[in-house]
Amino acid sequence: MFGGHAADFFPDQYKALLEKKLLVPDTKSTRDEYLRHYFEEMNSIRSSMGQEETLLKTIISTNRFFGAERGGIFWFAEGKYTSKPELRAAINLTKREVESTQFKPYIEHVLKAFRTNKPLVVRNDPLAHTVKGEKIRSVLCIPFEVQGMTRGVLYHDNSYMQDAFEFLDPTMMMLLSRHTSDTVNFLLNTMSVREEKEKLSRERDTSQQEFKKSQLIAGSRVMRDQLSMAGQAATTDTTVLLTGETGTGKGVLAQWLHENSRRSEGAFIVVDCATIPENLVESELFGYEKGAFTGADKQKLGRVELAHNGTLFLDEIGELPLHLQTNS
């Protein structure tokens, strides 16, 4: 009908199905080559996009790579089992389709992959279908972990070929699952750190704007002397101790010091020492790595690190126990 121009009229998301597979992983060398291509494809996704964009790019890339028609990332909040996982990103697959009766058998495959934490390939016989409208012939489900816990399943299907994914042997699928977990874990951790820094940056910008609306005005000679000393301190990289009763403006002066220092372009991080429980002071200031102690399921950046190239203001430091003041 279209002559030699059929590919021009074919939807972009399905064009991968028209391409002849040059790599058939039927030997160890070709399997290794296939895995290498997959790793390269996943590594290319590590970009600076937002979370939803990155997850969508992941499913688009893997859908094309496996030669699937449809794909989706099913997310289990907090790693808890549910019969209705969230469809976080998808290609050629809608939430309405996922919630339909026809899709129920495939949700069962997703749930099985999540429960067992093992990838699986399902081959359906179209002649044995009993559900009206059933047409999917092969299904691929790859569970992935985030911070050591199974949190989602990468889903793909194909309605044309029963053996679309059967070239994936158990060893290959486990390697794909492990690398998918590493990639998604890296992406979510990176985006979490980036979002935290952006939040702090927005808070800094807001505080700077508010500060600029009300500049310090000193009428007395004592205050002018204090500002002169503060101005000298602001030109150096040194620790400054501000003393005074509550309400005398230590925080305002600290902000002024930051604004007039060489670190003014960096973050101004405020830590209210009076509100931090004693057993959490060290982790709040210095952070911790994933697995450092029971319950540390992800990396946490300390306030000291977040204030790098900026200013760290420890408000009410005198409220800390003496041994912690020494460490701080």
- Measure CA of the first residue to CA of the last residue in the chain; give whole Å: 76
CATH of the domain at 35: 3.30.450.40
Enclosing domain of residue 140: 11-190
How many Cβ atoms from other residues are within 10 Å of residue 160's Cβ?
12
Alpha-carbon span 259 to 222, nearest angstrom: 21
Predicted pLDDT at 34: 64
- In one-letter notation, the amino acid at residue 271 is V
209 and 150, same domain (yes or no): no
Q: Which of residues 190, 216, 246 is at a domain's end?
A: 190
- With contact defined as beta carbons under 8 Å apart, do 66 and 91 qualify? no
User: pTM for this one?
Assistant: 0.49
| Count of structural domains within the chain | 2
Q: Which of residues 190, 216, 234 is at a domain's end?
A: 190
201 and 321, same domain (yes or no): yes
Residue 188 in tokens: 């979510």
Q: Which of residues 190, 213, 232 is at a domain's end?
A: 190
Let me know if residue 2 belongs to a domain.
no
Per-residue pLDDT for the chain (328 aa), expressed as one digit of tens each? Answer: 444 444 554 455 555 554 544 444 555 566 667 666 666 666 655 554 556 677 787 888 888 888 888 999 998 988 889 999 999 889 999 999 999 998 999 999 999 999 999 988 888 765 555 444 557 889 999 888 877 788 889 999 988 888 778 777 778 778 877 877 777 777 666 655 555 666 666 555 555 555 444 466 777 888 888 888 888 888 888 888 888 888 778 888 888 888 888 888 888 888 888 778 777 778 888 887 777 776 666 777 888 888 888 888 888 887 777 776 665 5
Predicted pLDDT at 194: 58
Predicted pLDDT at 1: 45
Predicted pLDDT at 22: 43
Residue recorded with tokens 């790019």: 57
175 and 280, same domain (yes or no): no
Alpha-carbon span 257 to 243, nearest angstrom: 14
114 and 203, same domain (yes or no): no
133 and 80, same domain (yes or no): yes
- In one-letter notation, the amino acid at residue 62 is T
Beta strands 311-315 and 268-272, pairing class: parallel
Strands (E), 36-130: 70-75, 86-91, 120-123
Strands (E), the chain: 70-75, 86-91, 120-123, 138-146, 149-158, 268-272, 287-288, 300-301, 311-315
How many Cβ atoms from other residues are within 10 Å of residue 193's Cβ?
15
Largest CA-CA distance found in the chain, in angstroms, rounded: 95
27 and 70, same domain (yes or no): yes
Let me know if residue 278 belongs to a domain.
yes
174 and 321, same domain (yes or no): no
168 and 210, same domain (yes or no): no
